[in-house]
Amino acid sequence: MKDRKCEICESPTARSIHFGARACKACAAFFRRTVALNVVYECKEPVPCVIHYEKRMSCKKCRYDKCIAAKMCRELVRSTRGSDRIVHGAKNCCEASVQSASSDYNDVNEQKYSTPSPVNRTTDLPRTIIESTKENRRAVIEHYKRIEVELNNRRRIMYTDTRMINVFTTVCECPFEKKHLKPLNYKEYAGNSRADFIMLYDYTIAFMQFDELQPFEKQALYRYVCGVDALLNSAYFTCCLSYDEKMMVLNSCEYLCVEPMPMTGEEPWAQHLFANSEDLDKYKSIVPRKAALWKSLVIPFHDLHLQFDEFCLLKALICWHISHYKLGENGRKVCSRQRDLLIRCLNDLASERSSNPEEWLGNVILFMSCVFQQLFELVNSLVMITFFDLYDYDAVVKEFTEEYY
């Protein structure tokens, strides 16, 4: 079996020679994509990173270097379809410097990673892809990556002290750095602000085929986007920044320590730690619920080891899927097309990167049930909080929960 081992990642599935070296299909696809798009990577580590097929989060710079060391030949890649030169900082979830930009695909007008106005950005990518070819699906992947990057840029501007030049010259996969995080203050916590809802509005209207929905369907999708974003992005930011430190990061650039787990507020002695019963009620409605997400959501999400583009697709897929039964007949048709397209996109990425794509995709689909369960818990919590007016939540939140009263 030794001669069937990939010379780059040591996968036992390297059944043939690719570009001059014995390699698995995943490494061959990585090398082809790197050469075809003329991508240049950077590594921040002083020593070469370990590249192994069992690791889903591999350093791209070191992986490419191993391809070259294995005698893979760039000239054997037939042709290039674009010339985007993007510098990806391995193990840096936040930024990747953009050196130049041009279209990856001749049939899709893809924007750069700057932040355009919502009106312009939603017209650049065709809303309906009639033929779901792999090239078209690659454009879909880039589209959802771009709108997530734009959302991250808005969060970075709002919650951090980043320089504006960084917004226009970097690809932001995570809007925060550890130095930006502040401990959660339950007394001042008020959920999403109006600015957060505006950011999520811009993100939602950029969904493919969004314009084909009826007004009530758009509102339903937007409402679920707000909920999914609050849960899934928190898990993603945590895995990027502070998972090992057992600190859960919230979308508001705050963190909550979960080791040891904070008290629930139901302890017999808990009331003596608060100035009044109102503070105790506020604490119980926020802190224990946030901390509970660590085991029910953050750990399962971390176990998936998602890369940024996979996270972007999964987030959109969950938003569409959970909105399905709130849509009308036409909206459900749109939803079904989008769900199928996003699953195909995830399958494409899994086929390129995983030695067992079917198992990985199955785990991703199963994880969606964790998000559904926590979203229902979140809605129930918001209904109780807004009904009893424990917090001064934004009017948008109260509108979202009115139908449950």
Judge residue 359's burial from the number of C-beta atoms within 10 Å of its C-beta, 0-12 exposed, 13-18 middle, 19 or more buried: exposed
| pLDDT at position 96 over 70 | no
Give the span between the Cα atoms of 252 and 373, in whole angstroms. 22
φ/ψ of 181, rounded to 5, equals: -70, 140
Assigned token pair, 79: 């042709």
331-354 mean pLDDT = 93
pLDDT level of residue 389 (50, 70, 90 thresholds):
low
130-155 mean pLDDT = 88
Give the span between the Cα atoms of 315 and 56, in whole angstroms. 19
Give the span between the Cα atoms of 216 and 237, in whole angstroms. 31
Number of residues written out for the chain: 405
Which residue did the predictor score with more confidence, 377 or 348? Answer: 348
pLDDT at 159: 92
pLDDT at 365: 92
| DSSP one-letter code for 51 | -
Of 14-28, 78-92, 335-349, minimum mean pLDDT range: 78-92
pLDDT above 70: percentage of residues in the chain: 79
Give the span between the Cα atoms of 374 and 301, in whole angstroms. 13
| pLDDT at position 164 over 70 | yes
| pLDDT at position 121 over 50 | no
| DSSP one-letter code for 77 | S
| pLDDT at position 144 over 80 | yes
The string of pLDDT tens digits covering residues 265-279 is: 888 888 888 888 888
358-372 mean pLDDT = 92
pLDDT at 276: 86
The string of pLDDT tens digits covering residues 286-319 is: 898 899 999 999 999 999 999 999 999 999 999 9
* Residues 216, 220, 225, 230, CA torsion sign: positive
189-216 mean pLDDT = 92
The string of pLDDT tens digits covering residues 56-93 is: 667 888 899 898 988 888 888 764 333 333 334 433 44
DSSP H or E run through 247: strand 247-249
pLDDT level of residue 224 (50, 70, 90 thresholds):
very high
pLDDT at 250: 94
pLDDT at 273: 87
pLDDT at 291: 92
Average pLDDT, the chain: 81
* Residues 16, 17, 18, 22, CA torsion sign: positive
